[in-house]
Amino acid sequence: MDALQPDPHVALIVEDDPDVRELAGALLEETELAVVEVDSAEAALVYLKDQGGEVAMMFADVRLPGEMDGVKLAKAACTLWPRIRIVLTSGAAVDELDDLPDCVTFMPKPWRGLDVLVQAEKAIHQPQPPVT
């Protein structure tokens, strides 16, 4: 492993519901990924600005407290950290899904644990290709 380019090994969970966040965290702890949990898009951006190169996967709810929702977070992450595999999830109808970037996978709630694990495996073994 190149010391300047560490392999991404973190799953960043962005979810304001503590029960759902804990469930996703418990599920992703069964993978090779270290799990970091935050409750807002703003907290996720703070983490990404400092540790973005270590994040392999971001699993985020569409509806989040604060100024930024999950869709805006996903768009920013696709631009600034294009190798992160991004999964957005929501239990409500979401109008903004038509203009999601190609780097985002949408998973409706209630999601199945197996589907989340499949995305984690893709994040580990098939990172998003770099933007050229």
Amino acid symbol at 36: V
User: In the predicted model, is pLDDT for residue 10 greater than 50?
Assistant: yes
Residue whose structure tokens are 């991404």: 8
Higher pLDDT, 40 or 94: 40
Every domain of the chain and the residues it spans? 10-125
DSSP 37: E
In this prediction, residues 35-62 reach a mean pLDDT of: 97
Amino acid symbol at 47: Y
Rounded Cα distance, 21 and 12, in Å: 10
14 within 8 A of 44, measured Cβ to Cβ: yes
User: Under CATH, what is the fold of the domain 10-125?
Assistant: Rossmann fold (3.40.50)
In this prediction, residues 35-52 reach a mean pLDDT of: 97
pTM, rounded to two decimals: 0.90
Rounded Cα distance, 40 and 64, in Å: 6
Rounded Cα distance, 5 and 26, in Å: 28
Own/partner contacts of 22-27, CB < 8 Å, gap of 24 or more, are 24/59, 24/116, 27/113, 27/116, 27/117
The reported pLDDT for the residue numbered 3 is: 44
> How sure is the predictor about 81, in pLDDT bands with cuts at 50, 70 and 90?
very high
User: In the predicted model, is pLDDT for residue 61 greater than 90?
Assistant: yes
Which stretch of 5-9, 16-20, 40-44, 110-114 has the lowest confidence by average pLDDT? 5-9
DSSP 123: H
Residue 26: which H helix or E strand, with range? helix 18-28
Residue 106, strand partner residues: 88
Please count the residues of the chain: 132
